[in-house]
Amino acid sequence: MTTDFDERFVSIMERCRQRLPVSKDDRRYLLSFPENSPEGIETVHTAESLARSLTDGTGEIGVQIGVIVGPCYADCGFCNFAYSTTDVEDFTMGDEELTRYLRSVTSDGLVSTVSLMTIHNFDIDDYLHIVETARSVLPEDVGICSNTGDLEAHEARELAKAGVTTAYHALRLGESIDNRLEPIGRDDTVRNLIDAGIKVAAGVEPIGPEHSVDEICSSFEHSMDIGCWCCSASARVPVEGTRLFDAGSISDMRLRQIRSALMLSSTDRRDTELGFYGGFYGGMNRFYGEYSNSPKDREELSEKGMNHTVRWALESLKKEGYGKVRRVDGTTVPLPL
């Protein structure tokens, strides 16, 4: 590392590399620099190099499938499904279509997790049937992740019984301001999922240019403090027609800097998976393809709109410097590109 960096920055980077605790103030300090500053670039370089080293250059991929969508009463200002702006009609994926998706995305044995996504207002019985169908179709070692609206305790227990092992749920930036949800409901759902034996991945999202360093770090720290298994970071994607379409976005480099600072300042947590800090939907050593309907894409089939397919996930891992991918059976193989 160049000696042009001040002593505090050099000390923080060294502690991160040694997986020693980093203070909340130091976490904020890392994000106080512009993304294109020497410090911002060094933070990204250090995090990405460390992630590749700790994972032995091995990546993992997953897939998210939108299974229950339509006008959503949460009415998030950034979402394609917000009921005040959407033209999406109510849709619940049937067994035949779900089976076709699941068999297609897992055919090569490279997808380790399938996330089944709904809008906030969804029918729990319909979703339980979808989960049960997925469990009967998927290979035994492919995990099922839920990404739903808020849940009561008994609903979380039913999901666990049906085969859900992980969940994505977050107290998002702008909760109750950019939508009609209350933060307490989000937190209660996280606790209900954890109590049901389901590991919860959270996310600092959706990050826009208006969000401060303190808001970003406080969101991350809150998720980890209430027991989330990991917490990623995702940028707000401008979706045409939504209320926040013209609100701006952060740069890819700023998102990388945020992910890197959060990951580096948390490497002392040995009980979490390092790669997941990079991003549930993409980053570091883990990428998720998105199929069917997506809240970030106006196309009915997001695999044709955003084109975030299994192939895209593999190509993204290669661009990030990974040479291997973990198969669902636990073995690793060279990236098949």
CA dihedral 39, 285, 27, 49 (to 10 degrees): -40
Burial 112-142 (b: 16+ CB within 10 A, else e): bbbbbbbbbbbebeebbebbebbbebbeeeb
**In a 10 Å sphere around its CB, with 0-12 CB exposed, 13-18 middle and 19+ buried, how is residue 335 labelled?**
middle
Instruction: With respect to residue 198, please indicate whether it lies within any of the assigned structural domains.
Output: yes
Range of the domain at 102: 7-330
Instruction: With respect to residue 255, please indicate whether it lies within any of the assigned structural domains.
Output: yes
CB atoms within 10 A of CB 14: 12
Question: pLDDT value at position 3?
Answer: 59
Instruction: With respect to residue 252, please indicate whether it lies within any of the assigned structural domains.
Output: yes
Question: pLDDT value at position 270?
Answer: 66
What separation, in Å, do the N-terminal and C-terminal C-alpha atoms of the chain show? 33
Distances (CA, A) of 110 to 36, 59, 318: 35, 10, 14
Instruction: With respect to residue 336, please indicate whether it lies within any of the assigned structural domains.
Output: no
Instruction: With respect to residue 292, please indicate whether it lies within any of the assigned structural domains.
Output: yes
Give which of 170, 238, 232, 181 is closest to 209, Cα–Cα.
Answer: 238
Q: At what angle do helices 95-105 and 124-137 cross, to 10 degrees?
A: 40
Q: Which residues contact 97 (CB under 8 A, 6 or more apart)?
A: none
Question: pLDDT value at position 274?
Answer: 52
Instruction: With respect to residue 283, please indicate whether it lies within any of the assigned structural domains.
Output: yes
Instruction: With respect to residue 152, please indicate whether it lies within any of the assigned structural domains.
Output: yes
CATH code at position 283: 3.20.20.70
User: What does the block give as tokens for 168?
Assistant: 């994505």
Q: How many domains does the chain have?
A: 1
Instruction: With respect to residue 89, please indicate whether it lies within any of the assigned structural domains.
Output: yes
Three-class SS string for the chain? CCCCCCHHHHHHHHHHHCCCCCCHHHHHHHCCCCCCCHHHHHHHHHHHHHHHHHCCCEEEEEEEEEEEECCECCCCCCCCCECCCCCCCCEECCHHHHHHHHHHHCCCCCEEEEEEEECCCCCHHHHHHHHHHHHHHCCCCCEEEEECCCCCHHHHHHHHHHCEEEEECCCCCCCCCCCCCCHHHHHHHHHHHHHCCCEEEEEEEEECCCCCHHHHHHHHHHHHHCCCCEEEEEECCCCCCCCCCCCCCCCHHHHHHHHHHHHHCCCCCCCCCHHHHHCCCEECCEEEEEEECECCECCCCHHHHCCCCHHHHHHHHHHCCCCEEECCCCCEEECCC
Q: What is the pLDDT along the chain (337 residues), one digit of tens a residue?
A: 555 899 999 999 999 999 899 999 999 999 999 999 999 999 999 999 988 888 889 999 999 999 999 999 999 999 999 999 999 999 999 999 999 999 999 999 999 999 999 999 999 999 999 999 999 999 999 999 999 999 999 999 999 999 999 999 999 999 999 999 999 999 999 999 999 999 999 999 999 999 999 999 999 999 999 999 888 899 999 999 999 999 999 999 999 999 999 989 888 876 655 544 444 445 788 899 999 989 887 877 777 778 889 999 999 999 999 999 999 999 999 998 6
